[in-house]
Amino acid sequence: MSALTMFLSVAVIYMVLAWSEPSNACGLCTCSKGVLMSCSNTASSAIFLFSNGITTISKDTFKNLSSLVELNLQDNRITTLSKDTFKNLPSLSYLNIPNNRITTIEAGAFYNLPQLYDLNLQNNRITTLSKDTFKNLPSLIRLFLQNNRITTISKDTFRNLSSLYWL
Protein backbone atom coordinates (compact mmCIF):
# COMPACT_ATOMS: atom_id res chain seq x y z
CA MET A 1 0.00 0.00 0.00
CA SER A 2 1.46 3.37 -0.96
CA ALA A 3 1.90 6.14 1.60
CA LEU A 4 -0.69 8.26 -0.22
CA THR A 5 -3.28 5.46 -0.17
CA MET A 6 -2.65 4.88 3.53
CA PHE A 7 -2.90 8.62 4.21
CA LEU A 8 -6.25 8.82 2.39
CA SER A 9 -7.54 5.78 4.30
CA VAL A 10 -6.56 7.43 7.55
CA ALA A 11 -8.27 10.67 6.48
CA VAL A 12 -11.53 8.83 5.78
CA ILE A 13 -11.39 7.04 9.16
CA TYR A 14 -10.69 10.37 10.86
CA MET A 15 -13.72 11.99 9.18
CA VAL A 16 -15.95 9.11 10.31
CA LEU A 17 -14.66 9.46 13.87
CA ALA A 18 -15.12 13.22 13.78
CA TRP A 19 -18.76 12.79 12.80
CA SER A 20 -19.35 10.12 15.45
CA GLU A 21 -20.82 11.00 18.79
CA PRO A 22 -17.92 11.66 21.20
CA SER A 23 -17.80 9.89 24.53
CA ASN A 24 -18.91 11.81 27.58
CA ALA A 25 -15.55 12.38 29.25
CA CYS A 26 -17.17 13.27 32.57
CA GLY A 27 -18.62 9.78 32.84
CA LEU A 28 -15.46 8.02 31.65
CA CYS A 29 -12.56 9.76 33.36
CA THR A 30 -11.70 10.99 36.83
CA CYS A 31 -9.82 14.24 37.38
CA SER A 32 -8.66 15.70 40.68
CA LYS A 33 -7.07 19.15 40.93
CA GLY A 34 -5.86 19.06 37.32
CA VAL A 35 -4.56 15.49 37.49
CA LEU A 36 -6.13 12.98 35.12
CA MET A 37 -6.42 9.90 37.33
CA SER A 38 -8.24 7.20 35.36
CA CYS A 39 -10.45 6.47 32.40
CA SER A 40 -12.46 3.30 32.74
CA ASN A 41 -14.92 2.62 29.93
CA THR A 42 -13.30 -0.19 27.96
CA ALA A 43 -15.80 0.12 25.09
CA SER A 44 -14.91 3.72 24.20
CA SER A 45 -13.42 4.32 20.76
CA ALA A 46 -12.90 8.07 21.26
CA ILE A 47 -12.35 10.26 24.31
CA PHE A 48 -12.33 14.05 24.07
CA LEU A 49 -10.80 15.78 27.11
CA PHE A 50 -10.02 19.16 25.63
CA SER A 51 -10.13 22.34 27.75
CA ASN A 52 -10.32 20.59 31.12
CA GLY A 53 -7.36 22.24 32.87
CA ILE A 54 -5.47 18.92 33.03
CA THR A 55 -1.85 19.42 34.13
CA THR A 56 -0.73 15.83 34.75
CA ILE A 57 -1.65 12.40 33.44
CA SER A 58 -1.24 9.70 36.08
CA LYS A 59 0.44 6.39 35.35
CA ASP A 60 -1.98 3.74 34.06
CA THR A 61 -4.72 6.29 33.37
CA PHE A 62 -5.59 4.58 30.10
CA LYS A 63 -4.75 0.97 31.07
CA ASN A 64 -8.17 -0.55 30.34
CA LEU A 65 -8.89 1.15 27.04
CA SER A 66 -7.58 -1.35 24.51
CA SER A 67 -10.23 -0.38 21.91
CA LEU A 68 -9.54 3.37 22.13
CA VAL A 69 -8.89 4.79 18.64
CA GLU A 70 -8.83 8.55 19.27
CA LEU A 71 -7.68 10.54 22.29
CA ASN A 72 -7.94 14.32 22.31
CA LEU A 73 -6.19 16.20 25.12
CA GLN A 74 -5.86 19.58 23.42
CA ASP A 75 -6.13 22.94 25.19
CA ASN A 76 -5.10 21.73 28.64
CA ARG A 77 -2.05 22.56 30.78
CA ILE A 78 -0.08 19.34 30.45
CA THR A 79 3.66 19.93 30.95
CA THR A 80 5.23 16.45 30.77
CA LEU A 81 4.53 13.24 28.87
CA SER A 82 6.04 10.55 31.07
CA LYS A 83 7.33 7.14 30.09
CA ASP A 84 4.45 4.75 29.39
CA THR A 85 1.83 7.52 29.56
CA PHE A 86 -0.03 5.97 26.64
CA LYS A 87 0.89 2.30 27.13
CA ASN A 88 -1.69 -0.42 26.62
CA LEU A 89 -3.46 1.44 23.81
CA PRO A 90 -2.90 -0.96 20.90
CA SER A 91 -5.75 0.50 18.81
CA LEU A 92 -4.89 4.18 19.28
CA SER A 93 -4.66 5.82 15.84
CA TYR A 94 -5.10 9.53 16.63
CA LEU A 95 -3.43 11.30 19.53
CA ASN A 96 -4.04 15.03 19.76
CA ILE A 97 -2.17 17.00 22.41
CA PRO A 98 -1.80 20.49 20.89
CA ASN A 99 -2.08 23.76 22.80
CA ASN A 100 -0.70 22.53 26.11
CA ARG A 101 2.49 23.47 27.96
CA ILE A 102 4.52 20.37 27.18
CA THR A 103 8.24 20.94 27.70
CA THR A 104 9.35 17.35 28.31
CA ILE A 105 8.64 14.14 26.44
CA GLU A 106 10.31 11.27 28.25
CA ALA A 107 11.71 8.34 26.25
CA GLY A 108 8.98 5.73 26.02
CA ALA A 109 6.03 8.14 26.26
CA PHE A 110 4.73 6.86 22.91
CA TYR A 111 6.21 3.37 23.14
CA ASN A 112 4.22 0.48 21.73
CA LEU A 113 1.49 2.32 19.84
CA PRO A 114 1.52 0.12 16.72
CA GLN A 115 -1.57 1.70 15.11
CA LEU A 116 -0.75 5.38 15.78
CA TYR A 117 -1.14 7.22 12.44
CA ASP A 118 -1.55 10.81 13.56
CA LEU A 119 0.33 12.57 16.40
CA ASN A 120 -0.32 16.26 17.01
CA LEU A 121 2.05 18.04 19.40
CA GLN A 122 1.87 21.53 17.91
CA ASN A 123 1.68 24.73 19.96
CA ASN A 124 3.52 23.44 23.01
CA ARG A 125 6.87 24.33 24.58
CA ILE A 126 8.92 21.33 23.48
CA THR A 127 12.63 22.13 23.25
CA THR A 128 14.32 18.76 22.70
CA LEU A 129 13.56 15.70 20.59
CA SER A 130 15.76 12.77 21.63
CA LYS A 131 16.51 9.70 19.54
CA ASP A 132 13.91 7.73 21.54
CA THR A 133 11.09 10.29 21.45
CA PHE A 134 9.26 8.58 18.57
CA LYS A 135 10.69 5.08 18.94
CA ASN A 136 8.53 2.13 17.88
CA LEU A 137 5.81 3.99 15.94
CA PRO A 138 5.73 1.90 12.75
CA SER A 139 2.41 3.29 11.43
CA LEU A 140 2.97 7.00 12.11
CA ILE A 141 2.05 8.96 8.97
CA ARG A 142 1.49 12.50 10.24
CA LEU A 143 3.51 14.26 12.93
CA PHE A 144 2.72 17.86 13.84
CA LEU A 145 5.42 19.78 15.73
CA GLN A 146 4.76 23.37 14.59
CA ASN A 147 5.02 26.28 17.01
CA ASN A 148 7.21 24.68 19.66
CA ARG A 149 10.56 25.87 20.99
CA ILE A 150 12.64 23.07 19.50
CA THR A 151 16.36 23.80 19.68
CA THR A 152 17.77 20.27 19.75
CA ILE A 153 16.92 17.31 17.53
CA SER A 154 19.03 14.19 18.02
CA LYS A 155 20.56 12.59 14.95
CA ASP A 156 18.29 9.52 14.87
CA THR A 157 15.03 11.07 16.10
CA PHE A 158 13.09 10.25 12.92
CA ARG A 159 15.17 7.24 11.81
CA ASN A 160 12.63 4.45 12.30
CA LEU A 161 9.53 6.33 11.15
CA SER A 162 9.33 4.50 7.85
CA SER A 163 5.65 5.39 7.24
CA LEU A 164 6.03 9.09 8.03
CA TYR A 165 4.50 11.14 5.21
CA TRP A 166 3.80 14.51 6.83
CA LEU A 167 6.14 16.37 9.18
Cα gap 92→94, rounded to integer Å: 6
136 located within any domain = yes
CATH of the domain at 120: 3.80.10.10
- Report which secondary-structure segment, H or E, holds 8: helix 3-19
30 located within any domain = yes
pTM: 0.80
Question: Which residues constitute the domain of residue 138?
Answer: 3-153
pLDDT at 98: 98
132 located within any domain = yes
Cα gap 95→92, rounded to integer Å: 7
160 located within any domain = no
119-166: pLDDT as tens digits? 999 999 999 999 989 988 999 999 999 999 999 999 999 888 889 998
Cα gap 1→7, rounded to integer Å: 10
The total of structural domains in the chain comes to 1
164 located within any domain = no
56-111: pLDDT as tens digits? 998 878 887 888 999 999 999 999 999 888 888 999 999 999 999 999 999 889 98
Could you tell me which residue, 41 or 75, shows the higher pLDDT? Answer: 75
165 located within any domain = no
Cα gap 159→38, rounded to integer Å: 33
